[in-house]
Structure 1
């Protein structure tokens, strides 16, 4: 394995959009709009495209009808067309065999490939900006639309957590080929790395990698959208309660990233997070933090117990997941 480059790479700008698979498209779409607080922007026979009120792009989430829940693909937006070409060249130099396609609703030409860990990933630059229709124009011109919250009012796409068989290998792949910066990792004493938190710019994480406990690959742990404050997370808990959506975990505070969170399972079976806060890294020579155990033996910063389902539930369910040993 080659050493990480001495010069930081800033060719990837952000988590651009995610495709989630669901066996109940309409129920999932209803959850994400009426309960989670997103907006429908386009539909086809087998897909619904959505955005959050503070996303400045046309769409950040595609829901696609499928037999099983899980991740369709995760897409990273580059900083320029030139950056896109550089990162594709880096992937191909590494032996990754991907393919270009013409794009989808809300974005242009993209390069699709399979990352370390079996997840479909995508790089693209061209993205359609959201233009608020009449009546939804913001009072402040630096906002994409009028703030008229409904449901939990998820504000913008934030991060994704993927299960991978080898966390250290998948982490190195993201760092070396795409320029992700390792912020924190969990390596229990005498054991292999079981968690890594990486970002492309200053956030605590755009991507989390967690050890896959089964002999399979390509599974999703969760997708997270951010809200503006801790109170919004607490408000979301009340909204989920009133709408009959069971809260799996939280509200509580993470030890790593220090984000305030809440997890639920949407009707299709995918785990979804409401997230706020989290540390930001401004130092160019930030040294990754290595955890050898949970702080003080706690699974969360304040000692909130972690439910068993948080470690056992992922999508697609095992042993249905791709590559599973049946």
Structure 2
């Protein structure tokens, strides 16, 4: 049975790996206009200007580049427990962690290709410092006066060795629905766009021509 629509409220945040933390931090802050909101270990937590949570993006020093974790916020504590139960029932049991500031606990699992996916409900409401206080009450912070000024994280595009299997997991276990896809003449699904809400899409799976799984790492 398909899970209830609406158990996943939105794409929460993404952790990116980088072999050059300083240059990546410069790019995301000076060029894209994200705001730093704390550090932990070898990671820097960044915010887009329209996000109400602690961070939208985490940069983590690593030997290679890529997406380590994609976090999805549920619509309630009950919705989180439903998705965890479904993951365990379908053989994709994960683990509970509390390793990110401002959110948690997170239930971390993987999709069929090995990409790390985390589900959570509890979230700290961002309080802007005086220099970033917004002029309007419905804004979380003022838009930075430099760079692109990215407002929010929109979607994530994964490379996958088996698009159909990963898309089916996202639909049948997490509760997404497909909005469009590319089907080759052979009948193979080469790409599929999926959404959890009324957006056009939150997650995309496209075929990895190398045949690799869950890269990187």
> What corresponds to 1:69 in structure 2?
65
Moved over 4 A (4+): none
> What corresponds to 1:110 in structure 2?
106
Give me the TM-score of the superposition, normalised by structure 1. 0.64
Please report how far the alpha carbon of residue 146 of structure 1 lies from its aligned counterpart in structure 2 after TM superposition.
Answer: 1.9
* Separation (CA, whole Å) in 2 of partners of 1:110 and 1:83: 13
Please report how far the alpha carbon of residue 8 of structure 1 lies from its aligned counterpart in structure 2 after TM superposition.
Answer: 4.3
Equivalent position to 1:38, from 34, 37, 53: 34
> What corresponds to 1:196 in structure 2?
192
Unmatched 5+ stretches in structure 2:
none
> What corresponds to 2:203 in structure 1?
207
* Separation (CA, whole Å) in 2 of partners of 1:123 and 1:95: 16
* Separation (CA, whole Å) in 2 of partners of 1:150 and 1:56: 20
Equivalent position to 2:15, from 14, 19, 23: 19
Please report how far the alpha carbon of residue 43 of structure 1 lies from its aligned counterpart in structure 2 after TM superposition.
Answer: 1.4
- Name the SS of the counterpart of 1:97 in structure 2: coil
* Separation (CA, whole Å) in 1 of partners of 2:16 and 2:87: 24
Give me the TM-score of the superposition, normalised by structure 2. 0.96
Please report how far the alpha carbon of residue 189 of structure 1 lies from its aligned counterpart in structure 2 after TM superposition.
Answer: 2.0
- Superposed counterparts of 1:300-311, under 5 Å: none
> What corresponds to 1:229 in structure 2?
none
* Separation (CA, whole Å) in 1 of partners of 2:144 and 2:175: 37
> What corresponds to 2:165 in structure 1?
169
The alignment status of 1:128 with 2:149, answered yes or no, reads no
* Separation (CA, whole Å) in 2 of partners of 1:81 and 1:45: 29
Describe the shift of the 1:207–1:135 C-alpha distance in structure 2 as closer, same or farther (beyond 3 A).
same
Please report how far the alpha carbon of residue 103 of structure 1 lies from its aligned counterpart in structure 2 after TM superposition.
Answer: 3.9
* Separation (CA, whole Å) in 2 of partners of 1:153 and 1:120: 28
Deviations 1:201-246 (A, max 9, x none): 0111100000111131113xxxxxxxxxxxxxxxxxxxxxxxxxxx
Q: Whose RCO is larger (CA < 8 A, sep 6+)?
A: 2
> What corresponds to 2:48 in structure 1?
52
> How many pairs were matched up?
217
* Separation (CA, whole Å) in 2 of partners of 1:207 and 1:149: 30
Deviations 1:81-106 (A, max 9, x none): 11000000000000012101124112
Check whether the contact 2:143–2:149 (CA below 8 A) recurs between aligned residues: no
